[in-house]
Homo-oligomer: A and B are copies of this chain.
Amino acid sequence: MVSYDASKNDRPVSSRGPSPARTARTREAILGAALDLFLDAGFDGVRMADVAARAGIAKGTLYLHFADKAALFEGVLRGVIAGPLAGLTEGVPAPGERVRDFLARMAGPVLRDMEGSRRAAVLRLVIAEGGRFPVLAETYHRLVVGPGAAAFRRLGRLALERGELRGDGLERFPQLLAGPVVLATLWNGLFTAEPRIDPEAMFLAWLDLVFGPPLPPEDRTG
């Protein structure tokens, strides 16, 4: 008789029984696995079986932690949407610092590793699936876009008052400030055969166009 259950004779590595610690660990494993897969393949491109396999658990276990695939998807993204941007929108120009220089200073860390961190992938995923998962778009708006726009609007007004800008466009359309990142991220995701765009370089070029070039060094001392 062909025996296909040999593996089942070994005692399973992960034992059973309740345990808050183990439960939390399982949940983390699921979230981690699902994040990897969803970022890579989108909602439809991932099977629950894949998630379970990568998390090292059984398919059924997924449903102990998430009601269904959509809940898992949203749960996963909810967890990564906010994280990496914390603090981004709270800064304020240092006394005497031009808005332009403040922006250049703040943007660096964020734009520098858009791909390595997964901010780029998250952005692309939200864009791609936001239409079918309004919750996603709403969450993204509440946690990222909304606060960002508010902060940018304040900066736009400040820069206009200080005479650093030639129009009130940034106050009326604070989203414009996000243009370079969004463009670069989409470009890099879509046109893989083309040269990649460096988001930071693009943003700095944009700053030059909008605010004018940075002040030459001697001006700072004078």
The chain A residues found within 8 Å of chain B, CB to CB, are 1-2, 4-5, 8, 20, 23-24, 27, 41-42, 44-45, 79, 124, 126-132, 134, 137-138, 140-141, 145, 165-170, 172-173, 175-176, 178-180, 182-184, 186-187, 189-194, 197, 201-202, 205-206, 208-210, 212-213
> What are the 8 A-B residue pairs with the smallest beta carbon separation, nearest first?
A179-B179, A169-B205, A167-B208, A5-B20, A128-B128, A137-B190, A44-B44, A130-B190
Interface contact B213-A167, CB-CB below 8 Å: yes
Q: Which residues of B contact A170 (CB under 8 A)?
A: 205, 209
Interface contact A176-B167, CB-CB below 8 Å: no
Interface contact B8-A20, CB-CB below 8 Å: yes
Residue A27 contacts which of B4, B124, B130 (CB distance < 8 angstroms)?
A: B4
Alpha-carbon separation in the docked complex, A6 to B173 (Å): 39
Alpha-carbon separation in the docked complex, A206 to B172 (Å): 10
Quote the shortest CB–CB distance from A157 to chain B (angstroms): 13
Interface contact B131-A190, CB-CB below 8 Å: yes
